[in-house]
Amino acid sequence: MRNRNKALNLALIGMVAMTTACSGSNPSQQGAKEEEKKEPIKLTVLQYLLTVTDEDFNKLIAEPVKAKFPHITMELVRKPANQSFEDMLTAGTFPDLMLQANFDIYKYTTLGLAEDLTSLVKNNNVDLSQFDPNIIQTLKSYGAKGELYMLPLYSNPAALYYNKDIFDRFGVPYPKDGITWDEVISLARQLSRTDGGQPYYGLDLIAAPRISASMMLPLWDPGSGKAVLTTDSWKSYFEMYKSIKDIPGNQTKGIFNDFEKNKNLAMMVAYNRLTQLEELHKAGTAPNWDIVTFPSRKEAPLVKETDVSGLLLSTNSKHKEEAFQVMKFLAEKENQARMARRGLIPVINDPEVTKEYGADLSSLQGKNVQALLKMKIGQNPQPTEYEEIIKDVINKSMTEYLKGSVDVNSILRRAEDDANKKIAEAKR
């Protein structure tokens, strides 16, 4: 009798277990069903200043988010050139999220358009220690009281790109990782020449304020609140920049066209051009290029500025909690690895995510991709909401200085005075 009761009990337990299994109490299945029950929402993401292709947006953001959160649809919104943020607010079209570089955070915070993420980070148990500490410190420096307005997604790859065919043509050895600015300029002098009626340029670089940021030159003094440009470091920088532009035969027609299309620029110092070179590779028109590390300063080998892109949360969003869940998800290991395969540098401290760096870009196969991963991130100088004013003055001052009619000390004094006058006007 006992054996019959025992057998009956076992049978009942088995039936209960089968019923439980059939009822869908499996956690993953249950979670999927709960997702299906949620009200569908659309989250819009603003693209402004950053280069973001539809393909990258879909593969790196929209599709992974849809797989994780079936009720959420992501939509990329490109800011019209003739429309201001105020216009978008009036029209009710300002997005839920903004995909931006850290240098542009003030474009939103000064207008009250970016949400402080501090409480959301805490309430959702986001571990900020997973990120490079210099990244978090730099991002918090944009808040008057250490507020965090951006969750980083990737670091922007910076490199010295070079055309192997031009080096081969003139018998000049290729540059190597760890190259300094002095060494780059020396190579540029050897490669700036005309051969067979075709001019070849040794080196070009992007706008002066952007390159100065890579050297982490302070734009202002936080104590006085004024621009500070009459320093030895700024003097050295202006002189170095001019020495490149003054190399005989090195007067380019346009950095990207000459390197990527005309193929008569030997070297270019630039940030992420991998998307453009991938497109040229697929079209069969890319130059025979490779990369080495971004030019270093002697006093700080293989160290560059914090230059990350990430997401800001709009204070106008009606779906802040859902939007933050998306932000948190995109910063996780699986998505960081997905971005790495597309040539974007991960921001979390996990060597696993870079194992297949660049694997999804056919143009990177056989290239020195490790050059993009060797650069260490330094903490940027304290930013200021008036830095766009200062950068604009630097650009105009450099243009005047390159003409050669004014000495460097005079040009920097004028620049500092002009910047401070404009800052004072902006404060009124």
120 pLDDT more than 80: yes
Is it the case that residue 19 has pLDDT exceeding 60?
no
User: With 50 as the cut, is the pLDDT of residue 425 above it?
Assistant: yes
CA distances from 215 to 345, 388, 426 (A): 19, 17, 27
- Mean pLDDT, residues 327-345: 97
Helix (H) or strand (E) holding 345: strand 345-346
Examine the pLDDT at 222 and tell me if it is beyond 70: yes
Task: Please tell me the predicted confidence (pLDDT) of residue 51.
Answer: 87
Pairing mode, strands 72-78 and 41-47? parallel
Distance of CA 181 to the CA centre of its chain: 22
Say what the pLDDT of residue 37 is.
Answer: 75
Could you report the per-residue pLDDT of 240-265, keeping only the tens digit for each? 999 999 999 999 999 999 999 999 99
Average pLDDT, the chain: 92
Tell me which DSSP letter residue 257 carries. Answer: I
What average pLDDT does range 210-220 have in this prediction? 96
Note the pLDDT of residue 15: 40
**What distance in Å separates the CA atoms of residue 421 and residue 95, rounded to the nearest whole number?**
35
Measured at the CA of 101, the angle between CA 95 and CA 107, to 5 degrees, comes to: 60
Whether the per-residue pLDDT at 25 is higher than 90: the answer is: no
Cβ(141)–Cβ(134) below 8 Å: no
pLDDT at residue 357 is higher than 90: yes
pLDDT of res. 420: 98
Residues 276-319: pLDDT tens digits? 999 999 999 999 999 999 999 988 999 999 999 999 999 999 99
Answer yes or no: is pLDDT of 50 > 70.
yes
| pLDDT surpassing 90 at residue 16 | no
* 77 bridge partner residues: 46
| Token code pair at residue 83 | 């429309």
Strands laid side by side in the 198-205 sheet: 193-195, 198-205, 265-270, 159-163, 289-293
Q: Check the CA dihedral 180-182-186-188 and report its sign.
A: positive
pTM, two decimals, is 0.89
User: What is the structure's pLDDT at 81?
Assistant: 84
Tell me what pLDDT residue 96 has: 98
Reported residue count of the chain is 428
Could you give the CA distance from residue 244 to residue 183 in angstroms, rounded to a whole number? 12
